[in-house]
Amino acid sequence: MFGLNKKDASLLLIVAGLVAFAPFLLNPFPEGSAMAQFNAGYPDLMQRFVIFGIFAIGFNILFGLTGYLSFGHAAFLGVGSYAAVWMFKLLSMNVLPAIVLAVITAGAFALIIGYVSLRRSGIYFSILTLAFAQMSFALAYSVLTPITGGETGLQLALDDPRILESASASEGNIPVPGLFGLEMRDSFEMVMGSWVFTFNFGYYFCAVIMLIAFYLSIRIFRSPFGMMLRAIKSNQQRLNYTGVNPRPYTLAAFVISGMYAGLAGGLMASMDPLAGAERMFWTASGEVVLMTILGGVGTLIGPVLGAGMIKYMENIISKINSDILHGWFAFLPDGLEDLVVTMIYPFIGKGWHLTLGIVFMLVVIFLPGGLVEGGQKLANLFGRKKADNPKSASTEPAE
C-alpha cells in the first residue's frame, strides 16, 4: 500500500486510526468526574500533539538516521511561525500559502546554518547549532523588532493589507486562519451521556498533514538515501575511505529536518496566528531532543509517542494542584491525607518537570530504545507466555 511493505503499512494505518479517534481515546472519563482532570481531548492540546509530533519526526530524520545531534532546531520552528504570520498579514488568511512559505523559508534557513555547522561533527556540531539558534533568538527578540515584533511577538492587525481578500471579518474583528471558508477554530461537539467529545477542524487538518509527514518519513527511512544516512551514523570514517563524500547527504538530511520544523511552526501559527521569539529559545530545542529520546531514537513512531507524552505532562499533570489532591484523598483520615498530599505535590503542578526528569532517567537507564522498546518488550513478554501455554501449543510429531 502506497509503496510500503506490510509492516510499515500496518504502522501507518495504526497511526491514522489513533489520530482519527483521538477525541474518543483522549476523553476516557466522564465530564464532572474526579478523573476528568486526565482528559486531554480538547482541540488546543490535540493540535499540539500532532504539531509537535511533526517537529519530532523531522528531528528524528537528522538525529535518528545520521547521529548528528542538533541543539538549535527551534530556530527553524520560529522561522516557520514568523513566515506564516507574515503571509497572513500580507497575502491571505488561507493557511495553505502560509504553510508553504513556512516550509520554504525554514528550508532555506536550514541550508545556510547546515552548510556552516556540518563542517564539524559530534559535540562541536551541537554547539554550533545551539549558537545559531541563540543568535536567531537574540535577533528576533531585539534587533529585528520591526520584522518580528520583538518581545511582544508578531501579531495580526486590522490594517494589514491582505491583498488577496477583503480587510477583516464582520464587526471589525481580526479575521482568523481558515481553509477555503472553513475556520481552523470550527468545532463540533458530540454529547454521549456524561461524555463530551469535541471534533475540531484545525486538529484534523493538522492530523492529515502529520500523516503525510509520517508517510514521507517512512519512505525516507526505507530509501537508499536513508541507508546512506545510516552508514554515516555507523562509521563515517570508513565511508570516507570508500571515496563517498557524506556532506551532501548530511546537509540534505539537515535541510529536510529543518523543513519539518518549519512545517510545525507554520501549523502553530495557523492554529494561533502569533509568532514570538520564545519559540527559538534553547529550551524548545531541548524539548524536541527529549521527545525523540523518550519515544525512541531512530524508530518511526517513537518521536510521535515522545511528543505526546511530554505535551500531556506539560498540559495535564502541570494543572493538578493541592486542592485536587485533597479531593482525591478526602476519604483518608485528616493526618494521613495531608501526608499523602505533601508527598505527591512536589511531583505535580509546577513540579511536573521533576516527574519528567525521573521518567527520562528511567527510560535512559532501563529502556535505551525509548517507549518503542518498552512496547516491544511487553509484546515479547505476552507472546512468550502465550507460546509457553501448553493449551495453545501444538504438538509436532517426532522425526
Instruction: Convert the pLDDT of each residue in 143-159 to its tens digit.
Output: 899 999 988 899 988 88
Say what the pLDDT of residue 391 is.
Answer: 53
Residue 388 binned pLDDT confidence (cut-offs 50, 70, 90): low
Residue 394 binned pLDDT confidence (cut-offs 50, 70, 90): very low
355 in a structural domain = no
Which residues does 355 contact at the CB level (< 8 Å), separation at least 6? 313, 317, 347, 348
315 in a structural domain = no
Which residue from 237, 157, 201 is spatially nearest to 46, judged by alpha carbons? 201
Separation CA 118–CA 250 (nearest Å)? 8
311 in a structural domain = no
The number of domains in the chain is 1
By mean pLDDT, which of 77-86, 233-242, 268-277, 338-347 is the weakest? Answer: 233-242
123 in a structural domain = yes
Residue 171 binned pLDDT confidence (cut-offs 50, 70, 90): low
By the 8 A CB rule, do 297 and 53 touch?
no
By the 8 A CB rule, do 217 and 61 touch?
yes
What is the DSSP annotation of 157-195?
A: -TT---TTS-S--GGGPPP--EETTEETT-EEEEEETTE
Which residues does 16 contact at the CB level (< 8 Å), separation at least 6? 211
CB 248: neighbour CB atoms within 10 A?
Answer: 11
Separation CA 266–CA 229 (nearest Å)? 27
Which residues does 275 contact at the CB level (< 8 Å), separation at least 6? 78, 81, 82, 84, 85, 148, 149, 153, 154, 265, 269
Mean pLDDT of the chain: 89
In a 13 Å sphere around the CA of 275, the CA atoms on its Cβ side amount to 34
330 in a structural domain = no
Say what the pLDDT of residue 88 is.
Answer: 92
By the 8 A CB rule, do 257 and 59 touch?
yes
81 in a structural domain = yes
By mean pLDDT, which of 111-125, 270-284, 382-396 is the weakest? Answer: 382-396
Q: What pairing do the DSSP bridges indicate for beta strands 274-275 and 154-155?
A: antiparallel
pLDDT of residue 172 exceeding 80? no
Pick the more confident residue, 1 or 267: 267
Tally the residues of the chain.
Answer: 399
Say what the pLDDT of residue 399 is.
Answer: 39
Pick the more confident residue, 157 or 261: 261
In a 13 Å sphere around the CA of 93, the CA atoms on its Cβ side amount to 24
Residue 397 binned pLDDT confidence (cut-offs 50, 70, 90): very low
pLDDT tens per residue across span 191-224: 888 888 999 999 999 999 999 999 999 999 999 9
Separation CA 169–CA 349 (nearest Å)? 39
Pick the more confident residue, 145 or 3: 145
385 in a structural domain = no
Residue 397 DSSP one-character state = P
Region 389-393: what's the mean pLDDT?
53
Domain that holds residue 141: 6-285
pLDDT of residue 361 exceeding 60? yes
Buried b / exposed e along 165-184 (16+ C-beta atoms within 10 A): eeebeeeeeebbbbbeeebb
pLDDT of residue 396 exceeding 50? no
3-state secondary structure at position 307: helix
pLDDT of residue 386 exceeding 80? no
Which residue from 101, 303, 77, 112 is spatially nearest to 210, judged by alpha carbons? 303
pLDDT of residue 173 exceeding 90? no
251 in a structural domain = yes
Region 26-38: what's the mean pLDDT?
86
**Residue whose grid cell is 529536510:** 256
